[in-house]
Amino acid sequence: MSIATITALLQVILKAHSRPSPGPGTFWWNNCKREDAVFWSDWVVAGAIAAVVYVLKSLSAGHRLDVWQVTATFVILASASLFLPAIVGKILYDGTGQLRSGYVRIMLGNSIGLLVLVGSVFGGAQIG
């Protein structure tokens, strides 16, 4: 959880620093935009990678894996990869692809991605 938070913070800082400064005497956070707070896709990808790593590491260590647990983990990850983009897209973006107003929508989309990440980590901990 702390790694996801630190990663999100570093992404915002790097995005803000990569943009031209709006003027002298401004700080890096003046370059931040609402789009910089959208992390759900990063967290879904991180969750998928974590689950795959846990399974492969357990298999290479010679652990026996419960077929149903591994199947459930990958079904959830596949569903997250297939259906979440459409669901979160409806929440966050309007018909023209512009981010809808309000940080509540961004927090909701990020919460969905964070659920996938946390579920993958806990599922991997159970597998491993």
Give me the residue spans of the domains in the chain.
Answer: 37-127
pTM of the model: 0.71
Q: Helices (H), strands (E): how many in the chain?
A: 4, 0
Label residue 52 by pLDDT band (50, 70, 90).
confident
62 phi/psi in degrees, rounded to 5: 85, 15
Question: ∠ CA 89-92-98 to the nearest 5 degrees?
Answer: 95
Using one digit for the tens of pLDDT, what is the confidence trace for 103-121? 899 899 888 888 888 877 7
- pLDDT-derived band at 122, boundaries 50, 70, 90: confident
Which positions ≥6 away from 92 have C-beta within 8 Å? 38, 99, 100, 105, 106, 109
